[in-house]
Amino acid sequence: MDSSFARRNRQRKGGAAPYILAGGAALLILVIVLAVALLASPLKLELTGGSEIDLEYGEAYAEPGVKANLLFFNVDVQSGGQVPGDQLGSYTVTYSASFLGKTATVERKVNVVDTTAPTITLMHKDNFFTLPGHEYQEEGFVAEDNHDGDITDRVQKMVSDGYVHYMVTDSSGNVAEVKREIVYNDITAPELTLLGNSTVYVTVGKDFVEPGYKAIDDAEGDISLKVQVTTDFNKNTPGTYTVTYKVADNYGNSTEVTRKIVVSNSQQQTSGGNPVGGVIYLTFDDGPSQHTERLLQVLEKYNAKATFFVVGDKALGYLDDIVAGGHAIAIHSDTHNYNQIYASEEAFFNDLYAIQNKIYDRTGVKTTLMRFPGGSSNMVSKFNPGIMTRLTKLVEEKGFTYFDWNVDSKDAGGAKTADEVYNNVINGCKSRTASVVLQHDIHGYSVDAVERIIQWGLANGYTFEALTPDSPTAHHPVNN
């Protein structure tokens, strides 16, 4: 019998060929299977990020990617189609691949959209506020959109509960809203106006009768009822007293004005035999002239105030000095041509406004004080019957205050020396507590008399003041 060792040895020597044949068959079968699988498997394209995506307007398109495979083979993919990020709309990107005779395509839809809201920028002015009870005055704003650009004109506004609400919508329907808090404040003091004269004359023992006052606030309107009045007035003792008027608005802005009360005894005499006290309004017509500068120096020396009724073709360079000295500047005429200015109402007002504008252009003062050439009682206008009756009403309707005079220096006819002017003036003032004096600063001798007039007035208790719309007007009877 063969030993087991011999048998195993014979098996090894005769069994190699069958193993080789079996291995080759298996490989062939594997190749065949793979070939069949490749032929049977589709070429697949798989999109990364989905078949439809959104791209925000203004951003660059970044390809999310696509995978192509056939079994375990990676396949190159080609793409086509542009996506402009700066144009709203829908765009298609097409992907294609080819391998071993197989082809495949897939598409991706890219929507360029605008989902960014516009911006509203509010402007702010320094120290800006709205008066209480008044409408908000817009400080300014700008609305901008990343796609539409400047859309300020599309902004809608609404005021509610102390805020201004702003809203704007862009072409894609995106909405922006902001609000501004309205700052209410008032820094302007009320305007307090005294009715009647700024100086009131009362006889000893008589009561002071309040002429009245009016207070107007820019925010609150008429606040006359808030005015507080205090005075040291004593009707039984001659002297000069003060009435103080003070008013404050709800924001603490206040205004204070005063009125003088001169209490005098009509029987009380000075050593010179003249009534005690009063006010003298020195007024000068037809200038300025070469004498005006000297006149202003005299007035400044005594701190006396005067009123200048000026003519348009004269030395208007002195107007600044008149205003700077605290004097009143007033209208007389542009031409002082009687036949021209009294030809008609229209001609008169053309002349009036011409000189008013010259004064304003030179000084910034819009004066409404005036004196008719020749006075309201003049006879030089008789060639136009009734014109003075009409004009005296019309000027007041248009907001002017006209003045005549109750003391005439006669320097326009009769008086030719400074002594004559002086005597005419002081004799006219002696019997009055309020004198409106007519002089002309175009006459040197009349200007020469002014210092002595002031000295006499101060020695006898008079003050020298400039005219205001509340001063005595000394109106004459109208003769035409």
pLDDT at 198: 79
Contact 453, 460 (CB under 8 A): no
Q: Are residues 287 and 239 in the same domain?
A: no
> Can you tell me the mean pLDDT for 313-339?
92
Q: Are residues 214 and 309 in the same domain?
A: no
Task: Work out the percent of the chain whose per-residue pLDDT is above 90.
Answer: 67
Q: How large is the C-alpha radius of gyration of the chain? A: 51
Q: Are residues 231 and 311 in the same domain?
A: no
Q: How confident is the model at residue 292 (pLDDT cuts 50, 70, 90)?
A: very high
Q: Are residues 430 and 283 in the same domain?
A: yes
Q: Is residue 380 part of a domain?
A: yes
The rounded distance, in Å, linking the Cα atoms of 463 and 345 is 37
Range of the domain at 289: 278-464
Catalytic residue among 249, 285, 286, 441: 285
pLDDT at 277: 61
Q: What is the mean pLDDT of the chain?
A: 88
Picking from 80-84, 142-146, 243-247, 349-353, which range would have the lowest pLDDT averaged per residue?
Answer: 80-84
Q: Are residues 283 and 427 in the same domain?
A: yes
User: What total number of domains does the chain contain?
Assistant: 4
Catalytic residue among 291, 327, 332, 440: 440
165 counts as catalytic: no
Does residue 193 surpass a pLDDT of 60?
yes
| CATH, residue 108 | 2.60.40.10
Does residue 441 surpass a pLDDT of 60?
yes
285 counts as catalytic: yes
Q: Are residues 428 and 334 in the same domain?
A: yes
pLDDT at 27: 77
Q: Is residue 479 part of a domain?
A: no
> Can you tell me the mean pLDDT for 281-287?
96
Q: How confident is the model at residue 266 (pLDDT cuts 50, 70, 90)?
A: very low
Domain boundary among 113, 138, 173: 113
Task: Work out the percent of the chain whose per-residue pLDDT is above 70.
Answer: 90
Q: How confident is the model at residue 265 (pLDDT cuts 50, 70, 90)?
A: low
Does residue 443 surpass a pLDDT of 90?
yes
Q: Is residue 20 part of a domain?
A: no
Does residue 113 surpass a pLDDT of 70?
yes
Q: Are residues 209 and 289 in the same domain?
A: no
Picking from 3-12, 235-244, 390-399, 401-410, which range would have the lowest pLDDT averaged per residue?
Answer: 3-12
Q: Is residue 308 part of a domain?
A: yes
